[in-house]
Amino acid sequence: MALNKSERGQSLVEMAFSLVMFLILVGGAVEIGLALFQYVTMRDAAQEGALYGSFNPADENGIKNRALDAVGDIMPNLTAADIDVTINGSSVADAVSGGYACEGLTASVPNFITVGITFVHPVTMPYIGERMGQSVNLNAGVTDTILSPACD
């Protein structure tokens, strides 16, 4: 059975609509996959920083550098200012000046260190970026118990 001209045109229009929708879905899947990959990288970097900080809680720059080294070239826009280090609810500076930067308990709660990373993921797909906003905020954090040095 031969198709007449109007039926061939109808198939072309249907394919064009289907192709646009398919490409938008694939673009969204790629964008979500990239954001998820960056989140997992941030989570691993925060874990690396927290592990280093559990043995060296007073070395804030070392903790941040360890986390940045774990990120590598995957997120080149991540800086030390995007990494937040807290020790048992206080800042590292408070801990160094007589706070909780040692292994032990404070009010029956183990002293701990938390490393949090914040990153703004830029949406790269043009149509999806217009619908979702031009960026997505990603936050990852890890808490570890301070293992060294021992408290007096």
Q: Which pLDDT value is given to residue 103?
A: 79
The angle subtended at Cα 62 by Cα 59 and Cα 66, nearest 5°, is 140
3-class DSSP state for residue 50?
helix
Diameter of the chain measured on Cα atoms: 92
Amino acid letter, 74: I
pLDDT in tens, 98-143: 666 777 777 777 889 999 999 998 888 776 656 666 888 999 999 9
Question: Residue 118: its pLDDT value, please?
Answer: 96
Instruction: Give percent of the chain above pLDDT 90.
Output: 45
Average pLDDT, the chain: 85
- pLDDT reported for residue 46: 97
State the CB neighbour count (10 A cutoff) for residue 45: 27
Q: Is the pTM of this model over 0.85?
A: no
User: Out of 42-46, 56-60, 85-89, which region has the weakest mean confidence (pLDDT)?
Assistant: 85-89
Q: What is the pLDDT of residue 105?
A: 76
Return d(Cα 123, Cα 134) in angstroms, integer. 5
Q: Residue 66 and residue 62: Cα distance in Å, rounded?
A: 6
Say if CB 88 and CB 64 are below 8 A apart: no
CA distance 2 to 21: 29
